[in-house]
Amino acid sequence: MRAHGARVLCLYPAERTTREGEFACGVAWDDPQSILGLPAYLHMEVAGVVHMGHPDARGGAGCEALFLLLKAFAAVFENRNLPAWLAHISFFGGHFGMSPAVAETGLAEAWEHLRSAGAYGVVKSAYREWPWTHVRVVDMSNDLDAQAAAQAAWRSVSAYGSETEVGFDGHSHWRVALEESVLTLNGHHLDKDSVIMATGGGHGITALAATALARRYQPIMHIVGRTPLEDESADVASCKDAPALRLYLTDKMRSGGEAPTPVMVEREVQAILRKRAVRSHLDIMRRSGARVWYHALDVRDAQALSHMTEAIYRQHDRVDMLLHGAGVLADRRIRDKTLQEFSGVLHTKADSALTLLRALHPQKLRFVVLFSSVVARFGNIGQADYAAANEILNKLAWLVASRWPHIRVSSIGWGPWDYGMVSESLRRLYREKGIALLDPHEAVGWLLREIAAAGPVAPEILITRSVQALQRGLFQ
Ligand SMILES: NC(=O)c1ccc[n+]([C@@H]2O[C@H](COP(=O)([O-])OP(=O)(O)OC[C@H]3O[C@@H](n4cnc5c(N)ncnc54)[C@H](OP(=O)(O)O)[C@@H]3O)[C@@H](O)[C@H]2O)c1
């Protein structure tokens, strides 16, 4: 980059922020304040950020570090008159983790590297937030010597073209393209003895998927969610709907000496309705003939999740299918999003997936279905964390497929459903943008077809409507 006329300041891992002459600065990557304080500390004009996702870059390679860097330099990226550069260089072999190269190490060892793939989601979302930015994500072969890697990276970053993602495997350049897939059915099957573990299966779209699986196969189901399911008091149970609950709770709070606000009341009403929704989904599964257990736990608690998995093996000696749908949103633009919000989204979806895959016995596992999102493929305003978490799931799917070819793994990048976390205001926005929502009944049908498909299938797929509109950007 220097040879091409750029002034480059290299940020390297250090105990604390330390400027080393004109060209280098140490950064404590595990200290958010150290990263966020960089603009004031460096006090220099910045024209862009090149982020290296190499495992040797230690803490700096992670997607949290990239998120914090972008947040710190948001003012640079916001300047439309002087478009900044943003590049991320990863080292998954040149094919973005979609080849067996990442499978050579163990799952736990590969994890930090795999987790750095979240940076793809961060960069693609940053581009949606600052569309005038020169953005490029480059995936490189790990076999190139430093000189060749630097030259190839520079060529890929500076090349003209509209591709955001460019791969270089040492021989050829690659791009990521969507391809329509045709499924042949009657491949794999579950039956009434199969054990399915479904995180997030008590609520939202995963509950619809779980109830459909219950109807189709009458299996043994272990459903995981945070919602506790204690019995309702007789008074609460007598309130059949939200208005009745609002009246009852307002009166109860007042008679207890509280001054209830609508927000306080609504929070309690929604909590009760959520429990009812979970109970109702579990009832549907049971009535369909499935044997169902519910585990009220937070999937971010790795120990609790591992203990639960061990207990399921003691009970049934098998888990045939993992359906991982637990996920949360914390939508805010990069400049406003907190690290806590970013990490919360990542821990819920991505880190819990690793915990589960480490706790499950691969030789007994036959299906892994991960609920990812189109946002991972295209990025989205306010969803850098969500795109990162889903990109990690996508890359994890490729890793699982290459390490354990007998497992049928599918990371499904769902387009927006007319259900679940898609709120009324989001529905309106999609409608305005001409983005059609997935009909829940139809979407569940696609999922069942995906599970029953014969022959090899791609571990990372999209199921959506309005692909072109999504490609142009969800919220633009
Ligand atoms: N709806 C869509 O259009 C859409 C599109 C693309 C992808 N997705 C993905 O599909 C999945 C489900 O989304 P949804 O729309 O159905 O959202 P939702 O209604 O909010 O459901 C989220 C589910 O995750 C569970 N969950 C969240 N945090 C958890 C935690 N820390 N520990 C255990 N369980 C947790 C929730 O249960 P508790 O509240 O009981 O914890 C709930 O069952 C998500 O992964 C989402 O990213 C959805």
- pLDDT tens, residue by residue, 413-446: 999 999 988 888 888 888 888 899 999 999 999 9
Q: Which residues line ligand 1 (CB under 6 A)?
A: 199-200, 202-206, 224-227, 298-300, 325-328, 348-349, 371, 373, 414, 416-417, 419-422
- 180: its two tokens: 């329509």
| Mutate which of 305, 322, 371 for ligand 1 pocket (most atoms within 8 A of beta carbon) | 371
Distance 337 CA to ligand 1 centre (A): 20
pLDDT, average across residues 452-468: 89
Q: Which atom of ligand 1 is nearest to the CA of 199?
A: 34
Distance 310 CA to ligand 1 centre (A): 23
What integer pLDDT is reported at residue 106 of this predicted model? 67
| Mutate which of 206, 374, 426 for ligand 1 pocket (most atoms within 8 A of beta carbon) | 206
Q: Which atom of ligand 1 is nearest to the CA of 374?
A: 6
What integer pLDDT is reported at residue 475 of this predicted model? 65
What integer pLDDT is reported at residue 97 of this predicted model? 87
- Rounded CA-CA distance 195/75 in Å is 51
Atom 19, ligand 1: residue with shortest CA distance: 204
pLDDT one-digit tens code per residue, 260-318? 999 999 999 999 999 999 999 999 999 999 999 999 999 999 999 999 999 999 999 99
What integer pLDDT is reported at residue 476 of this predicted model? 57
What integer pLDDT is reported at residue 158 of this predicted model? 85
CA distances from 41 to 62, 65, 95 (A): 22, 17, 37
What integer pLDDT is reported at residue 161 of this predicted model? 76
Atom 7, ligand 1: residue with shortest CA distance: 373
Distance 157 CA to ligand 1 centre (A): 36
What integer pLDDT is reported at residue 386 of this predicted model? 98
Q: Minimum mean pLDDT among 37-46, 101-110, 156-165, 189-198: which range?
A: 101-110
Partnered with residue 321 across adjacent β-strands are 196, 367
Partnered with residue 26 across adjacent β-strands are 12, 18
Contact 254, 246 (CB under 8 A): no
pTM of the model: 0.95
Contact 114, 399 (CB under 8 A): yes
What integer pLDDT is reported at residue 100 of this predicted model? 61
Judged against a pLDDT cut of 90, whether residue 456 lies above it is answered with no
| Mutate which of 297, 298, 299, 328 for ligand 1 pocket (most atoms within 8 A of beta carbon) | 328
Q: Minimum mean pLDDT among 73-82, 84-93, 175-184, 370-379: which range?
A: 175-184
Judged against a pLDDT cut of 60, whether residue 103 lies above it is answered with no
Helix (H) or strand (E) holding 430: helix 424-432
Q: Which atom of ligand 1 is nearest to the CA of 278?
A: 40
Say what percent of the chain tops pLDDT 70. Answer: 96
Distance 225 CA to ligand 1 centre (A): 9
- Rounded CA-CA distance 51/43 in Å is 20
97-111, 187-201, 371-385, 444-458: which is most confident: 371-385
Q: Which atom of ligand 1 is nearest to the CA of 227?
A: 40
Judged against a pLDDT cut of 90, whether residue 452 lies above it is answered with no
Contact 309, 356 (CB under 8 A): yes
Distance 327 CA to ligand 1 centre (A): 4
What integer pLDDT is reported at residue 104 of this predicted model? 57
Q: Which atom of ligand 1 is nearest to the CA of 226?
A: 41
Q: pLDDT-based confidence at 455, cuts 50/70/90?
A: confident
Atom 14, ligand 1: residue with shortest CA distance: 420
What integer pLDDT is reported at residue 377 of this predicted model? 96
What domains lie within the chain, and their CATH numbers?
Answer: 10-174 (3.40.50.720), 195-472 (3.40.50.720)
Long-range contact list for 268-277, CB < 8 A, 24+ apart?
269/242, 269/245, 272/232, 272/236, 272/245, 273/242, 273/245, 274/203, 274/227, 275/227, 275/228, 275/229, 275/232, 277/202, 277/203, 277/207
